[in-house]
Amino acid sequence: MSSIPSPILLFGDLYVSKNNILAAKRKYPNLVWVIKSATKDSLNDIRAVVGTSSWDDSEKVVLIQELPNRKNVREFLLDLAKNCPAKNKLIIWDSNNEIGVDHKTQTIEKTWAEFVSGINQIQGAKVINNGDQLTEKDSIDSVNIVIKKFENEGKVIEPRDAKLMLSIVGYDRGMIESEIKKMCLTAPDHITPQFILDNAFPTSKESLFYKMANAMDSGSYESCIDMVERFLSGGTNHNFIAEIVVKKARWQLAATHLWYSGLDWSNISGKLMEMGKFPSAIWHDFQIGSSEKKVQSETYQGPKGILGYLSENQGIPERIFKIKIEEEKEPKEPKKSKDGKTAKVKTTRKGAEVIPMSFMADQTVDFVKNRIVNANREIPLDDLKERVLNRAIKVYIFVQNKLSEIRYGENPDQDLQEMLAAIVNTRII
């Protein structure tokens, strides 16, 4: 007799659960598998299938899936699991994801708790919880999961890159696992952001942005066109891609301007990451250190803070603001983390443009530095600065105009191609 335990209750992530079943099929190739649906098949039929042995004495596994959220079915399955003939094996798979887990307490929701514990109490039973979908709220957990899974495959990934991986692949546990398995077939021992950008399958909303931005930073028009064609054929609209190009041009312009203003290349990337933070006068003050900026800006967050800053520091009369400030709740004490440190105060305004990940700022700076500035070193520095800034402004205005044409024009393919040609063009006049 095979050593497969019975009954088995499988729930949680569908992909991982499916993998468990496939692994069992591979491990026990001589078992006869019968699949039944607890929703579509009658309970009598399921009982008969589980209660009937094979005439040639071969062992049988009955896989019951599609569990409905019905009390009588739960009771039936529990009874079936308790009375399954020894010769037959029973696997109950919650393929409809009905068994929920409370995120806060990590316990099974009340409706199913009794059923799961009932199965657990059967001698020889095995309950496999493959976990729920990860959420962005659990970002630290998610990052750790990614790191752990790469570790299991013998690869190392930095937390920052694990975060990038999540941004591209999304938070679906099964998708993450399958992507990591696929990537590890060809991955270097130390996973780089470039490898992730090149190989991770984009499923999240943001991934398209990362992939496009990465193609533009490569400076290759062909790569950009190839990427655009892939996205367009996948159903992405022209406008969405054009907005990414404009955003990228804006970052290039910001990076160029910072260099033009005299900032050292090594500081530009950090400065770009401060984009979108309020108040800009504090964040863009070269005299203050970054920790001091944080402290100073904290006072001016929230509607009252913004209003206060604009009226007191900038001298804009309060009367011109038409913001209706609703009764604010008493400001909570900033939460303290386990190690006693105060939690971060968000300084980014809602809707303000920020560069989501620091490697993207690095790539933008690299593009301006290596592909434009270093390629034109023969030009005197002052002249070069003028011309590089001039290029960035022209590119930005051009792509911005093209974005309008895409919105209202008739040849979006052509407009998009021209936008890409402009943004990867490194010539300066």
Q: Which of residues 300-359 bind other proteins (CB under 8 A)?
A: none
Interface size with other proteins, residues (CB under 8 A): 24
- Candidates 53, 117, 55; CA nearest to 86 is 53
Determine if the peptide bond prior to 7 is cis (ω within 30°): yes
Task: Centre a 10 Å sphere on the Cβ of residue 51 and count the other Cβ atoms it contains.
Answer: 13
Name the residue with tokens 């209750």.
9
CB 100 to other proteins: min, Å: 24
Gap between the Cα atoms of 257 and 263, Å rounded: 9
H or E segment to which residue 353 belongs: none
Q: How far apart are the C-alpha atoms of 340 and 411, rounded to whole Å?
A: 58
Alpha carbon separation from 50 to 4, 7, 70, 240, 288 (Å, rounded): 16, 11, 20, 53, 74
Judged by CB, which is closer to other proteins: 60, or 149? 60
User: For the sheet containing 32-37, what is the strand order?
Assistant: 32-37, 60-65, 88-93, 8-11, 126-129
Identified binder of other proteins from the candidate list 4, 49, 101, 384, rule CB under 8 A: 49
Which of 1, 3, 26, 55 is the binder for other proteins (CB under 8 A)?
A: 55
46 or 403: whose CB is closer to other proteins? 46
Q: Is 83 in the site for other proteins (CB under 8 A)?
A: yes
User: At residue 80, what are phi and psi to the nearest 5 degrees?
Assistant: -60, -45
Taking the complex as a whole, the smallest distance from the CB of residue 51 to other proteins amounts, in Å, to: 4
Q: Is 225 in the site for other proteins (CB under 8 A)?
A: no
- Closer to other proteins at the Cβ: 87 or 349? 87
Shortest reach from residue 61's CB to other proteins, in Å: 11
Sequence letter at residue 40: K
Shortest Cβ distance from residue 229 to other proteins (Å)? 22
Beta carbon nearer to other proteins, 6 or 214: 6
Least Å distance, CB 45 to other proteins, is 5
Query: Of 45, 136, 318, 383, which one interacts with other proteins (CB under 8 A)?
Result: 45
Report the site for other proteins in 373-402 (rule: CB under 8 A). Answer: none
- DSSP secondary structure letter of residue 93: E
- CA pair distance 298, 279, nearest whole angstrom: 9
Q: How far apart are CA 287 and CA 147, in angstroms?
A: 38
Query: Pick from 22, 23, 48, 316: which binds other proteins (CB under 8 A)?
Result: 48
Nearest to other proteins of 45, 383 (CB atom): 45
Rounded to an integer, what distance in angstroms lies between the CA atom of residue 216 and that of residue 420? 8
Q: Which of 19, 37, 52, 311 binds other proteins (CB under 8 A)?
A: 52
Answer for which of 72, 186, 287, 314 binds other proteins (CB under 8 A) is: 72
Question: Which residues would be at the binding site for other proteins (CB under 8 A)?
Answer: 32-34, 42-49, 51-56, 58, 60, 72-73, 76, 83, 85
